[in-house]
Amino acid sequence: METKGETMRTLKTMNSFDGASAVPPVHTEKEFMGLEEKYGAANYHPLPLVIARARGAWVQDPSGNRYLDMLSSYSALNQGHRHPRIIAALKAQADRVTLTSRAFHNDQLGPFLEQLSELSGFDMILPMNTGAEAVETGIKACRKWAYSVKGVEPGKAEIITAADNFHGRTTTIVGFSTEAQYQDGFGPFTPGFKNVPFGDADALEAAITPNTAAFLVEPIQAEGGIIIPPAGYFQRVRELCTEHNVLLFMDEIQTGLGRTGRFLACEHEGVRPDCISLGKALGGGVYPVSAFLADKEVMDVFSPGDHGSTFGGNPMGAAVARAALDVIKDEGLAARAERLGTQVMNRLSKASSSVVEDVRGRGLLIGIEIKKEVGPARPFCEALMKRGLLCKETHAQVIRLAPPLNIDEDDLGWAVDEILEVLG
């Protein structure tokens, strides 16, 4: 007899995969996982699942078992898996030109930059590939601005960051992480950074000096456990940065592009940063695209030769990003995230569970914190996987929920039913 979960998966996804009778895989799922373990570095601890096909909010393993994706590749799939408009853009551009480098112009980059500028409200964009590259680009821009515009003495610029931050994995970025594992064995680290507690505007004010170039911060600490700062925090941060001529640099790589119920998460507080980094869903889940955005005063610090990327701004990525942005706008994904997120939060918050410490979130970025005395969150993620839901733990105790923003409303309701059953 099918369980409720199996019934939902069968009915909701019966014909949702193109070419369901494709050629059988050459390996079993166990063999696929074994190849990764044998030839790949052990820098991840994935759930024991192999994904072979995907569409919308659903994925399928080589045996044909289907699962509802409640992670969205860490918010890189806000538009869902293989959105038809994004795939069409990818295929069409692949038939024209894929790479030119920035030694030449191409016919996709300019229109992409204009579109993103109009949607975000920032004057200028510097395109890159990965989120970490976008953050590194912003660090360089903020430092150079400090020297060339603010008048900081050469070599003295400082950037303030928030404790429990996550901005990427480069050596510079992990150097200002407060997570011990991210630093262990990778030093020495780049100087010029200091940490303050997230959500503490007084600590930020005390840390600012005449040499402070920028405050780099996430609107919501997604990787840190879906941590939302106190109301009014960012208004005070904005005031402090303006008062002391410090750039407010917000990392919107996981929180931007509709995820929290606004195009940018900073809009919830009515705050406009001086610069931001974007990535993940900017590539529509099919191609790595990221960007550093700022107004002309900041971006004009760059001259030819100061910074670059062979693939950054390539025509393939630009064409995909244009389609990805169109989908977010045309399908009203930000408003949808706000509406559905409110429903999920209401159900989870009102439920009684002896294992849950807290439920917090904004839009469709939600964290369920498991009590420490109960144990870590991973066993709950494994239990949900067996029921057909794919979630992942973050910071050991938190189950992160971040489904595609175009997830079917009934599917999302079923997912919450299953989560509530697993959490007791």
Q: Where are the domains of the chain?
A: 4-69+333-423, 84-330
82-132 tens-digit pLDDT: 999 999 999 999 999 999 999 999 999 999 999 999 999 999 999 999 999
pLDDT confidence of residue 1:
37
What's the CA gap between 66 and 63, in Å, rounded?
9
pLDDT confidence of residue 17:
64
Catalytic annotation present for 280: yes
Sign of the Cα pseudo-torsion (281, 408, 90, 17, in order):
positive
Sheet with 389-390: strands ordered across? 53-55, 58-60, 66-69, 389-390
pLDDT confidence of residue 136:
98
- Residues of the chain where predicted confidence (pLDDT) is lower than 70: 1-25
pLDDT confidence of residue 13:
47
What is the reported pTM?
A: 0.94
Among 17, 112, 122, 166, the one annotated catalytic: 166
Task: Give me the helices (H) in 185-332, please.
Answer: 201-207, 233-243, 296-299, 315-330
Among 144, 249, 280, 380, the one annotated catalytic: 280
Which residues, in sequence order, are CB contacts of 41 under 8 Å at separation 6+? Answer: none
CATH class label, 4-69+333-423: alpha beta
β-strand partners of 292: 126, 277
What's the CA gap between 18 and 299, in Å, rounded?
44
Catalytic annotation present for 198: no
pLDDT confidence of residue 11:
43
The two tokens of residue 206 are: 């005390």
Catalytic annotation present for 292: no
Q: Does domain 84-330 have CATH number 3.40.640.10?
A: yes
pLDDT confidence of residue 14:
39
The two tokens of residue 186 are: 């990778």
Report whether 262 contacts 219 (CB < 8 A): no
pLDDT confidence of residue 251:
98
Among 164, 251, 274, 411, the one annotated catalytic: 251
Closest CA to 333 of 157, 121, 83: 83
pLDDT confidence of residue 8:
52
